[in-house]
Structures are given as structure tokens and as C-alpha cells.
């Protein structure tokens, strides 16, 4: 079965049931509307704070877009880029592309015009569908992407260099296109986060997407009565692949546009959400808002929320313990994955293993793991090495980059770039990104370990540890610390707090600043290195 078959099945079995709800708290108007046919859709559907869509509407809109693409000569093997903010149109467009046998190419909505151009060319995109937020960026590069045609515009007044999707879709059939698609056919190109330079294009097939649904539903047991809230960007594999579990179960989902703690809690309450996947910064913000009484739990109905899980970056154990103190009756889980492994799930903690918080877990459903040396030999249990994973969601390749592909794919195993160790019970703990290890005076310092320690300080909201050049030791560990609102702390207080760390692991520099994170919650350490590798630090002398 393909992922598109699940949509057709749900439309057949649960056609009139609501499958997706879009919530935009920034809109003041509170009247509720359903998602109309394109020719009846208002010019600006985002004039409403809440919209909903049934399974039948979802499938019909996906079929319509598929048939529109086929009518324009876009079909099997072609690449269709999606440049949209999270909205109800997003998933029907994505599934419409898949139904043609073409390859969906979701793009980061934070990309600059240069990055958009780079990714369109890297993926060899044949078509583009974009929204009003991107008019200026697309217009800047329009003369340099002549092969990206057609260019469809969604929602609002259509610019002259594109065509209105609503107008073009008028009269197009909503019947399922008759295109034969196999499991090993190319399905989607996702882009790496790009924090080490321009992104890589990661190619997945239809088998990979279907495996994500199976793995997710196995891990979190979505049933027909569940309601999953997705806040993460749909261009990323994370939130969407968790929603695939809801697709497999035929259950409802909510797309929340916004990350304010009050919005998250209110939407969970109003929509009776049962499962939510959050990123570390959002969890921190929610807990801080509760601590400040900006958000009062008594104002919300949260008894139906059964599971909160986190992924996409290392999770400080202290943060999970804070959450469980506030929400003792909710289940918790940790998810680990990469875009190269079709998102979260290749390693999985499990709600029954909350006593192992701090670990990312064991091999996920249908997955295998091992920890290896540079030469590919498995390390002894307890030793640090590079985590490798193997399973049905491993990417086919980095598109048009055989050298980069060969560097990470070894006999079906994907080298993750994450340094890890396994404890006596077989649970895997992340130590750090391979490229982020700080080597100071010949000693390896793993920043995640130091960050986890510093997160225990009650004044620290977020922290990033990076290596900065040092004339004597080669490099030293520096901690960039973001304090909680209303808290004060001195450099000496942090140094004193770190006295319990082994001497070589203690940060030698403390900088109070905002910790930058990307859309998937990962700390943007290259940006910090660029900011703080200034002459004063390069020339710094330290003493043992």
C-alpha cells in the first residue's frame, strides 16, 4: 500500500468526518468556515481563525491538483516545489503531487531568494506552487529560473509572473488519476537544515513515506479517537511524519499556526487534542509561561491530552522532569531521527521507559542501530562512536551528489553524524554531533553533556556550548547562555556552578546572549561560531 492509498481509503470510509483543522490565532475574526471548492474560495481564506476540511474534501482537492499537473505535462519523475506556510492547502497539494508520480519538493519558508534559487536548481524542479509571503523572494529570481514552469500561486492577488491556482483549477476533474506508482518510485526531496552551508537534497521513495506512517502508529498507538496537533513546519519531515500516523489511523489532526504558549494550550483545550509533538524551545516557553503565571492551567481543559513527545534535537533531562512535574498524568516520549531517515522514529525511547529520560532510546520499529568507529567497527558497549541506523526509511541518496551519498551510506547503513554511546540496558545516549566535538588540549569535550549540566541551573532558559580558538589549547569550550525572563546571573556564578564538572569540561568563556535555533529547534551553532570567533577570543590565553 502507498501513502496515497491511505488517503483514498479514508475518503471512502470516513468521507464526511473532519480530518484537518487549521487554527490561526493571529486572526481576530472567530467565525468558523469549511474549506470550499477552489472556485468558491474567498480571496483570502486566512481571514478566518479556524478552518476545517473533511477526508472527502482532502482527497478531492489532492486529485484536482494531480489532474491539473498532468494536464500541464507534469508527471512521473518531474519535480514540483512547494513554498507555502503551514495551511490547509499544504497537505492536499503534497498528496496531489504524489498521486501524479511526480516528486514533491517541500521548501523551507525561511529561505532567502538565493537559497530558493539554489534548491530549485539542485532538485531540478519543473514546477512551483507558492503563497503570498514569497512573492518578493520569487520575483527576485524569476528570470533565473525559466525552467520552473508552471508557477502556481495560492491565496491572494496573483502576481504577473505566476498563474492563479484557483482559476487554473476551475473545471479540473476531482477523480483519482490513473497513474501506476510503485513503492520504489521517487516520491519526495527534502532538504537538510543547511546549518553547515547550503542544503543537501535528500531523496525518498514511496516505500520510505509509508514506512514512516507504520513506524509512527506503532510507536504512539494512534486510534480513531485521537487528535494530533502539528505545529512544526510541514516542509520538514518531523511534524508531517508524525501526522502520517494519524493518516494511517484515520484520525483527526490540527495545524496550529503559531508557537506562543497560550496559543498552544488554548488550541489543545479547544480542539480536545490528545497528542502533541513539541520542540525543546516551545516546551521551555510553555513551562516558563506557567511559572510566571502568564498561562494558568486552570483556564484550559487538558484532561484529554494523553501524550507529549519531543524530537529534532537533544532533549535536556531537566526539561522533561519539569514538564512531568506540571503534567504528571501525561505520557512522555522522545523521538530521534534525521531527514535522511525520513524523519523521527529510527530510534525511540517509548512511553514505558520514562525512567530512562536522557536517552534517545533503542532501535525503532522496523529499524536497526549500531555504534561504530571511524573504520566502521562496532564499539564496545559504553564507548563513544558514531550512531548508524538501517531500516525502510533510509534515503535513496543525496540527489545528484554521489560523493556525499557514498560518505554516509555504507551497505544499507546510514551514518548519522551523531556521536553516541549505549548503556548496559541497550539504551542509546547522544553525546554530540561529530562535527561539534570540542578538542581542548587533546581532550574531547562533548557540548551536549555540558549543556545538559548547565540546564540544571534555575536561571538558565537555553544554552549552547561551542569551541572557540585558543593559542595554547587549540580550542576551548565557551557557553552561550540565555537567561530566563526576569532572572539575573553573573559569569562567576556560572563558573562556580560548573565546579562539579571535571576540570577539562568546564566552559572557559561565558557569554550571555540569545541562543539561536532553526525552524526544527536545532541550535544554530555555525552562527554562534561565526559571531564569537572574534579577534579577542582567537588571541585569548588560558591557564589550566
pLDDT, one tens digit per residue, over 279-322 is 888 998 999 999 999 999 999 999 999 999 998 666 888 889 99
Q: Which range scores top for mean pLDDT: 94-103, 439-448, 464-473?
A: 94-103
Cell readout for 516 is 539561536
Tell me what percent of the chain is helix, strand and coil, each rounded to the nearest 5. Answer: 35, 25, 40
Q: Which of 205, 220, 235 marks a domain boundary? A: 220
* pLDDT confidence of residue 72: 97
Locus of grid cell 547503513: 413
CATH of the domain at 471: 3.30.300.30
**Overall average pLDDT of the 101-109 stretch:** 96
**Residue 235 forms part of a structural domain:** no
Number of domains forming the structure of the chain: 2
* pLDDT confidence of residue 401: 94
**Residue 228 forms part of a structural domain:** no
Lowest mean pLDDT among 22-31, 103-112, 139-148, 243-252: 22-31
**Overall average pLDDT of the 509-536 stretch:** 78
C-alpha distance from residue 341 to each of 55, 189, 238, 407 (Å): 28, 12, 11, 15
Decide: 231 and 264 in contact? Cβ < 8 Å: yes
**Residue 422 forms part of a structural domain:** no
* pLDDT confidence of residue 538: 38
* pLDDT confidence of residue 239: 85
CATH of the domain at 101: 3.40.50.12780
Region class of 160: left (phi > 0), else alpha (psi between -120 and 50), else beta: alpha
Is the predicted pLDDT of residue 543 greater than 60, yes or no? no
**Residue 64 forms part of a structural domain:** yes
* pLDDT confidence of residue 520: 65
Is the predicted pLDDT of residue 350 greater than 70, yes or no? yes
* pLDDT confidence of residue 312: 67
Domain that includes residue 527, residue range? 437-538
The contacts of residue 129 (CB under 8 Å, 6+ apart) are: 80, 81, 82, 83, 84, 93, 151, 152, 153, 154, 165
* pLDDT confidence of residue 537: 41
**Residue 183 forms part of a structural domain:** yes
Is the predicted pLDDT of residue 33 greater than 70, yes or no? no
Is the predicted pLDDT of residue 31 greater than 60, yes or no? no
Mean pLDDT of the chain: 89
The rounded percent of the chain whose pLDDT value lies above 70 is 91
Residue scoring higher pLDDT (238 or 75)? 75
Residue scoring higher pLDDT (194 or 313)? 313
**Residue 505 forms part of a structural domain:** yes
Helices then strands, each counted (H, E), the chain: 16, 28
* pLDDT confidence of residue 197: 58
Is the predicted pLDDT of residue 42 greater than 50, yes or no? no
Decide: 151 and 161 in contact? Cβ < 8 Å: yes
**Residue 51 forms part of a structural domain:** yes
Q: Which of 176, 203, 220 marks a domain boundary? A: 220
Q: Which of 220, 245, 267 marks a domain boundary? A: 220
**Residue 405 forms part of a structural domain:** no
Q: For residue range 368-385, what is the model confidence (pLDDT) as tens digits?
A: 999 999 999 999 999 999
Amino acid at each position: 500500500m502507498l501513502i496515497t492509498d491511505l488517503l483514498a481509503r479514508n475518503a471512502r470510509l470516513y468521507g464526511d468526518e473532519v480530518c484537518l483543522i487549521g487554527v490561526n490565532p493571529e486572526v481576530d475574526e472567530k467565525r468558523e468556515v469549511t474549506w470550499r471548492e477552489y472556485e468558491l474560495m474567498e480571496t483570502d481564506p486566512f481571514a478566518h481563525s479556524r478552518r476545517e476540511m473533511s477526508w472527502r474534501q482532502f482527497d478531492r482537492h489532492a486529485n484536482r491538483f494531480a489532474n491539473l499537473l498532468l494536464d500541464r505535462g507534469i508527471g512521473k519523475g518531474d519535480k514540483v516545489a512547494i513554498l507555502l506556510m503551514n495551511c490547509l492547502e499544504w497537505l492536499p497539494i503534497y498528496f496531489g503531487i504524489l498521486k501524479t508520480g511526480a516528486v514533491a519538493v517541500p521548501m523551507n519558508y525561511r529561505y532567502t531568494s538565493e537559497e530558493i534559487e539554489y534548491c530549485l536548481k539542485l532538485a531540478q524542479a519543473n514546477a512551483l506552487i507558492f503563497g503570498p509571503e514569497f512573492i518578493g523572494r520569487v520575483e527576485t529570481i524569476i528570470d533565473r529560473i525559466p525552467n520552473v514552469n508552471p508557477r502556481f500561486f495560492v491565496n491572494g492577488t496573483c502576481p504577473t509572473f505566476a498563474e492563479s491556482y484557483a482559476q487554473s483549477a476551475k473545471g479540473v476533474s476531482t477523480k483519482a488519476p490513473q497513474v501506476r506508482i510503485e513503492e520504489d518510485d521517487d516520491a519526495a526531496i527534502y532538504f537538510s537544515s543547511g546549518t553547515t552551508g547550503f542544503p543537501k537534497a535528500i531523496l525518498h521513495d514511496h516505500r520510505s513515506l509509508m514506512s514512516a506512517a507504520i513506524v509512527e502508529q506503532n510507536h504512539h498507538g494512534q486510534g480513531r479517537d485521537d487528535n494530533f496537533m502539528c505545529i512544526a513546519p510541514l516542509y520538514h519531515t518531523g511534524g508531517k511524519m508524525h501526522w502520517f500516523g494519524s493518516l494511517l489511523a484515520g484520525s483527526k489532526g490540527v495545524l496550529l499556526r503559531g508557537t506562543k504558549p497560550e496559543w498552544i494550550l488554548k488550541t489543545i483545550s479547544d480542539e480536545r487534542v490528545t497528542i502533541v509533538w513539541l520542540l525543546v524551545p516551545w516546551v521551555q516557553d510553555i513551562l516558563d509561561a506557567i511559572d510566571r503565571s502568564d498561562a494558568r492551567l486552570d483556564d484550559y481543559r487538558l484532561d484529554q491530552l494523553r501524550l507529549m513527545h519531543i524530537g529534532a534535537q537533544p532533549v535536556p533531562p531537566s526539561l522533561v522532569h519539569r514538564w512531568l512535574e506540571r503534567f504528571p498524568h501525561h505520557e512522555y516520549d522522545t523521538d530521534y531521527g534525521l531527514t535522511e531517515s525520513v524523519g523521527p522514529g529510527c530510534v525511540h525511547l517509548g512511553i514505558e521507559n520514562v525512567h530512562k529520560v536522557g536517552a534517545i532510546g533503542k532501535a525503532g520499529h522496523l529499524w536497526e542501530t549500531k555504534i561504530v568507529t571511524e573504520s566502521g567497527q562496532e564499539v564496545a558497549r559504553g564507548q563513544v562512536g558514531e550512531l548508524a541506523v538501517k531500516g525502510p526509511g533510509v534515503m535513496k541518496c543525496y540527489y545528484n551528489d554521489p560523493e556525499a551519498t557514498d560518505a554516509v551510506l555504507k551497505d544499507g547503513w546510514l551514518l548519522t553524524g551523531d556521536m553516541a554511546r549505549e548503556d548496559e540496558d541497550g539504551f542509546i545516549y547522544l553525546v554530540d554531533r561529530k562535527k561539534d566535538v570540542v578538542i581542548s588540549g587533546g581532550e574531547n569535550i562533548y557540548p551536549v553533556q555540558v549543556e545538559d549540566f548547565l540546564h540544571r541551573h534555575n536561571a538558565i532558559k537555553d544554552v549552547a556550548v561551542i569551541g572557540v580558538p585558543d593559542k595554547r589549547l587549540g580550542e576551548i569550550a565557551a557557553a552561550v547562555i540565555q537567561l530566563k525572563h526576569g532572572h539575573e546571573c553573573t559569569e562567576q556564578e556560572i563558573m562556580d556552578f560548573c565546579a562539579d564538572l571535571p576540570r577539562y569540561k568546564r566552559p572557559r568563556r561565558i557569554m550571555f546572549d540569545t541562543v539561536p535555533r532553526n525552524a526544527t529547534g536545532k541550535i544554530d551553532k555555525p552562527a554562534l561560531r561565526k559571531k564569537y570567533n572574534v579577534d579577542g577570543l582567537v588571541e585569548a590565553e588560558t591557564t589550566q
